[in-house]
Chains A and B, each alone.
Chain A
Amino acid sequence: MIGGLFIYNHKGEVLISRVYRDDIGYVAQRSFMVTSCIKPATLFNVNLFVCRRNAVDAFRVNVIHARQQVRSPVTNIARTSFFHVKRSNIWLAAVTKQNVNAAMVFEFLYKMCDVMTAYFGKISEENIKNNFVLIYELLDEILDFGYPQNSETGALKTFITQQGIKGQTKEEQSQITSQVTGQIGWRREGIKYRRNELFLDVLESVNLLMSPQGQVLSAHVSGRVVMKSYLSGMPECKFGMNDKIVIDKQGKGGDLYAFCCSGKQSIAIDDCTFHQCVRLSKFDSERSISFIPPDGEYELMRYRTTKDIILPFRVIPLVREVGRTKLEVKVVIKSNFKPSLLAQKIEVRIPTPLNTSGVQVICMKGKAKYKASENAIVWKIKRMAGMKESQISAEIELLPTNDKKKWARPPISMNFEVPFAPSGLKVRYLKVFESKLNYSDHDVIKWVRYIGRSGIYETRC
């Protein structure tokens, strides 16, 4: 398991060092103690320090100060493995000498970042120095002998505070411990809100690679459902969406909604993962998503779809080479969604050859500019409604070169934001049941928002 955890600043100075196991650092020491039967109390003192420092320094020299960019997030130096992640200019390194679960170590490091962010905001040298006592306290709690323990901030905040826990009653104490070790470690009991409210954000990024003829080479959507919950008590929630498998099943069973939207309005989800609050075995058997949510903001699920994606924009490129020193480019973009909706932050990037000497652009809408440093024409449109069309044409003057190599014609890429889910995902319901408190599903104010953004959205030309 994890032998130690260090936090460094960008210079490689240690800000936090917590050693869980002796093996990292002074293995040599122990064998020294065994072979020579001297009582090494005094001598040891110095050496122990030197050796532990060695593990710390090795990382600084080999990773932080290495001139090259990082070639691997796991580095093995002198039979010691260093796992590292970087947040702004802070390095977090977990050190081990054993065959640990590597995926777990990285997940833990990310979690550690989340926990720190939840406690004191941005991870920066200043914040870490300001909160080092807190960090040590957290590290003591969430990592025991190198084994990650409960690391849900909701639970941690109940008993790790900088005020110190004073005057707790016995009930309160046992409530804390049962929550930390319990089945619902991510939520504490006794949360109360005057107004029960929840927000659901369906955030999608749509990725496309299209041929010049308009044929889709590859397209996929990766989406996230982020929930902000402000609910009292221990509410039991059930989340429903237009998942094809569920709809088909229910359609047969006579569910009216399911019946209405069976067929084209349901979507096929390739794969999804859930926050640990979701009962996975229930999803596996019934495909229903039920859970007791953490308080506040968290990511309920991630999913990926590849079928029947609504491509919000279509790019139609036309590139003509006029002689050896001139290119004519015409690009048409078509918005392909309901006219009542508005797309925002639209940006089209048209690459130009390296030997471009000048560009003239004419566009119907928005602003277009040739950016020589980026070798591209960048065309920006603030807003565009659905089912519209816009066009840009450009004349590119080229310097004559004797370079035999043809221009590789990189694809035209696009950025945008649309107020719907390109995957077609719809939230059907989010039901809240809290039997102990006197509020019902109807009393909860629910908000749903869909945002579709461009991922890598490219059209070859």
Chain B
Amino acid sequence: MTDSKYFTTTKKGEIFELKAELNSDKKEKKKEAVKKVIASMTVGKDVSALFPDVVNCMQTDNLELKKLVYLYLMNYAKSQPDMAIMAVNTFVKDCEDPNPLIRALAVRTMGCIRVDKITEYLCEPLRKCLKDEDPYVRKTAAVCVAKLHDINAQLVEDQGFLDTLKDLISDSNPMVVANAVAALSEIAESHPNSNLLDLNPQTINKLLTALNECTEWGQIFILDCLANYTPRDDRESQSICERVTPRLSHANSAVVLSAVKVLMKFMEMLPKDLDYYGTLLKKLAPPLVTLLSAEPELQYVALRNINLIVQRRPEILKHEMKVFFVKYNDPIYVKLEKLDIMIRLASQANIAQVLAELKEYATEVDVDFVRKAVRAIGRCAIKVEQSAERCVSTLLDLIQTKVNYVVQEAIVVIKDIFRKYPNKYESVIATLCENLDSLDEPEARAAMIWIVGEYAERIDNADELLESFLEGFHDESTQVQLQLLTGIVKLFLKKPTETQELVQQVLSLATQDSDNPDLRDRGYIYWRLLSTDPVAAKEVVLAEKPLISEETDLIEPTLLEELICHIGTLASVYHKPPSAFVEGSRGVQHKRLPGSSVESPEPASAAVPEASPSIIPSQGDLLGDLLNLDLTPPTSTAAPPPTSGLQMGAMDLLGGGLDSLVRPRVLVSSQMWLPAMKGKGLEISGTFARRSGVIQMEMTLTNKAMSVMTDFAIQFNRNSFGLAPAGPLQVLTPLSPNQSIEVSLPLNTLGPIMKMDPLNNLQVAVKNNIDVFYFSCQYPMSVLFSEDGKMESKVFLVTWKDIPNDNETQCQIKDCHLNSDAASNKLQGSNVFTIAKRTVEGQDMLYQSLKLTNGIWVLAELKVQTGSPVFTVSISTKVPWRSRHGQQSDSVVPP
């Protein structure tokens, strides 16, 4: 008797019949009916109407029937939560069954029924099962904790299950340990900051012991968990590596890859001159090669990972080129990956072999593969200079085949070869030109046009060739249009006499008939260049091009480091960080190699590479600056020395003249930025101010040299808040010796952003007819406080509560003899607004808000003890983060 018949019933009134059968007295009939129900469920029919009838079959001593009913329950309990309660009793009873298999089955299934009401009843049985005498029940209960946590995290914490789970790491049974590790790792992932998986040398030791004894899957859980640990020193690192290396001989590829992950990570901590370091490097190659004899799907996973490993540590596999040669019957995804790795490993030593292989591949059937092979030949030429000549001749052979896509691909790569080795292989241009007509892909057409334009002087009929493209100008893709424009301009500059008409034509096509702004702009630039200064035009358009780099398609180092920490996982297959494809908080934690050299300034900005960069001032800086808000009249003599900034600032804030209270702007006394010594006679001093919403850089330029200075210009380096000049530096008359001029430069905050240290540091370059001078200065934070920084009191209240305590900083301002109102007024002058004020036990509490130009709100609480000269300030920020691509996760960026 077979089960397939259950799939075939499609009669009407089926549900009704099933109902009758389910309520039958005969056990066999019941079982048959449940099987039918499950079969319908599998093929997607809705059999939820049978819920009560199926649940009625639950109380049975037939284990097979019980399992079927449980299966049904898992599927439909969620849709019928009230009914699901009916099942609870049986579950609880089963958890007490003398048969451990039934106990485990009950606790396993209960965890799968994701109904809130049931979870309450689950706690007691689960607690018992976690301490069950039978390891089979314990290992099932361990996973159940993870299930329960997924439904109701709070409940798991309140019930103390996490501690029990932690205890299970010391269990005598290796499988219990493995499952506990798996469950804890998963729970820890959704609590990035919790210290749940408290990995210390003792627990690590326990895990390493269990590693030798548990199932292959358990070994994977444990190794993946180990990879999250950071050893204290190189000794510990080495001893863990020593105990992990035996895993490299495991038949299960996942065990091998996870072991490789641990080793790759911990290796970072080993000193390079250590003997063991070399031994370890040697030990890694054979298992990686062996992975290539696994099933194709696993080969694919392995190859994607090897691609990462080769980029990080090329030395491991540098002698293993041959194993990446493509086999005739490899699936296409394996072939493409192998090809990629071959190029990465190509070197002078093996280039002959590689080229011979690539040539073979270029005659294969699969179009993508052939294209990639052709491209690879070009990349070899660029990477290994000695091979360039052979590569070019191979490419020419391929062009001779006249296979359309091969020709196009070859032309694209030859263009790059020209750029890498100028004036070497141009003899082949004639052959290329023969194939002009067959090119139908934009990239190939653009490449060909570039070649014709670049070498116009050597091609007799260059004008005819380019003209032929011009006919269908508007049907071309942007890439081709731009290239055509540049190509014809180059041609004109080289052969001005014959091509005047052509250049006119293309310029008018680009500027008048096109609605593509890039094309129009480029057209206008050429037009103006050509009409005003043809010599300059020649210098610009025919300028020597920088050489192109050897390596292409390299993964950006920070990402590479992160991916190395994710070896074996999906992230390493996609070559994307988990945050790019995982929803929610899980896995968005960023992993780092220990002792990694690449410092990312902001954890959050690394998390979302597409996010628009924005710099959040650390509270320390802001505090200093708040207090440095110089409210003294501009006549004040010396600027506060930076070391005693805090105290001096405080004195200034309150000790300064009351007259400045009404002044609606902020001023800092002028500072020397560029002494004449360094500026070849040019001396610059200046200050920053905020006037009616515009940040001004006020400078005094003094000429202390003997000659006249002209042609002033200014530029800023990237800085924390994107400050940039809003206009050119207005020095209209030449600056004669010993003359001073005052210039006010309006700034905007639209410039590029880079975090500076200190935050308010600004690097400036000033140019004149003599030289370019660099200096750096610091602007007061208060110029960044915008006028609309007054928050509504409700919003303020909510925001204040939202900000985690960690984001709060406190400090005290001493020697302030000012009452709260006066202080409030004074601060308002600098766009620090008082939202609310209350008096508690003789203390005035001022709640204030301010907004930075980059939209970040800063909230502050100012405590003023009447009669005491000490103010206490608490400052908080919260930054809601939103990337351009709609990543919804709001993360609070710690200051």
Where the two chains meet, the residues of A that have a C-beta atom closer than 8 Å to any C-beta of B are 1, 13-17, 19-23, 27, 41, 44-46, 48-49, 53, 56, 69-74, 76, 79, 81, 83, 85, 96-104, 106-110, 126, 129-133, 136-137, 140, 144-145, 147-152, 159, 162, 164-165, 168, 170, 173-174, 176-178, 180-183, 185, 218, 222, 270-276, 279-281, 283-284, 299, 301-302, 304, 404-405, 408, 456
Contacts and interface: CB of A to CB of B under 8 A. Distances in A.
Contact of B108 (A100, A144, A274): A144
B752 interface: no
Contacts of B581: 76, 79, 81, 99
A172 to B, nearest CB: 10
Contacts of B42: 14-17, 132
A107 B253 contact: yes
B221 interface: yes
Q: Which 10 A-B pairs have the closest CB atoms?
A: A271-B286, A177-B136, A129-B4, A103-B254, A284-B246, A104-B254, A280-B246, A99-B578, A130-B2, A73-B297
A302 B251 contact: yes
Contact of A136 (B38, B140, B251): B38
* Majority-rule SS of B interface residues: helix
Contact of A104 (B147, B220, B333): B220
Interface stretch (B415-423, B563-571, B863-871): B563-571
30 contacts: A41-B82, A49-B46, A70-B333, A79-B583, A81-B570, A99-B581, A99-B586, A101-B258, A101-B569, A102-B569, A102-B573, A103-B253, A104-B568, A110-B298, A129-B7, A131-B3, A132-B3, A132-B6, A144-B108, A144-B179, A159-B101, A164-B64, A177-B101, A177-B136, A181-B136, A182-B173, A270-B286, A271-B289, A276-B216, A280-B212
Contacts of B220: 101, 104
A104 B215 CA distance: 13
A147 B570 contact: no
> Which among A23, A107, A137 has the greatest number of chain B C-beta atoms within 10 A?
A107
Given A41-B79, A104-B568, A173 B99 contact: yes
Given A48-B78, A148-B217, 7 more contacts: A41-B79, A41-B82, A53-B44, A72-B333, A129-B4, A271-B287, A302-B251
Given A73-B296, A273-B290, A275-B251, A284 B135 contact: no
A273 B256 contact: yes
Contacts of B296: 73
B79 A45 contact: yes
B224 interface: yes
Contacts of B143: 144-145, 147
A23 B569 CA distance: 18
Contact of B289 (A180, A301, A304): A304
Given A74-B570, A273-B249, A405-B400, A144 B213 contact: no
Given A130-B3, A164-B63, A456 B327 contact: yes
Contacts of A1: 182, 186
Give the most central of A149, A180, A404: most B CB within 10 Å. Answer: A149
Contacts of A106: 253-254, 295, 297-298, 301
Contact of A183 (B38, B150, B213): B213
B252 A281 contact: no
A414 to B, nearest CB: 14
B584 to A, nearest CB: 8
Contact of B331 (A70, A147, A270, A275): A70
Nearest to B260: A103
A107 B252 contact: yes
A149 B217 contact: yes
Given A16-B42, A102-B568, A144-B108, A218 B71 contact: no
Interface in B808-828: none
Nearest to B46: A49
B134 A177 contact: yes
B363 to A, nearest CB: 7
Interface of B: 2-4, 6-7, 35, 38-39, 42-44, 46, 48, 62-64, 67-68, 70-71, 75, 78-82, 98-101, 104, 108, 111-112, 114, 134-137, 139-140, 143-144, 146-147, 150, 173-176, 179, 182, 186, 212-217, 220-221, 224, 243, 245-247, 249-254, 256-258, 286-287, 289-290, 293, 295-298, 300-302, 322, 327-328, 331-333, 363, 400-401, 566, 568-574, 578, 581-583, 586-587
B571 A99 contact: yes
Contacts of A302: 251, 290, 293
A254 B208 CA distance: 35
B78 A101 contact: no
Nearest to A142: B217
Nearest to B574: A76
Contacts of B67: 136-137, 140
A108 B295 CA distance: 12
A79 B174 CA distance: 35
A177 B300 contact: no
Contacts of B216: 107, 276
Nearest to A456: B327
A185 B71 contact: no
Nearest to B49: A45
Contacts of A271: 249, 286-287, 289-290
Contacts of A136: 38, 67-68, 71
Contact of A101 (B104, B144, B254, B582): B254
Given A144-B140, A144-B143, A147-B182, A404 B298 contact: no
A7 B214 CA distance: 29
A279 B211 CA distance: 11
Nearest to B210: A183
Nearest to A108: B217
A164 B60 CA distance: 13
A30 to B, nearest CB: 10
Nearest to B298: A106
A439 B503 CA distance: 97
A442 B641 CA distance: 93
Contacts of B224: 101
A130 B4 contact: yes
Given A101-B254, A170-B98, A408 B363 contact: yes
A133 B38 contact: yes
B777 to A, nearest CB: 46
* Most chain B beta-carbon contacts within 10 A, residue among A46, A83, A147, A164: A147
A195 B251 CA distance: 30
Nearest to A279: B212
B288 to A, nearest CB: 9
A180 B217 contact: no
A46 B174 CA distance: 43
A159 B101 CA distance: 9
A36 to B, nearest CB: 17
A274 B250 contact: yes
A50 to B, nearest CB: 10
A24 B501 CA distance: 63
A324 to B, nearest CB: 18
A71 B250 contact: no
A166 to B, nearest CB: 8
Nearest to A275: B251
Contacts of A276: 215-216, 250-252
B891 to A, nearest CB: 18
A308 B147 CA distance: 55
B645 to A, nearest CB: 46
A159 B88 CA distance: 25
Nearest to A161: B64
Contact of A164 (B3, B62, B147, B322): B62
Nearest to B295: A110
A71 B176 CA distance: 39
Contacts of B150: 21-22
B137 to A, nearest CB: 8
A165 B251 contact: no
Contacts of A109: 297
Contacts of A182: 135, 173, 175
A16 B363 CA distance: 42
Nearest to B286: A271
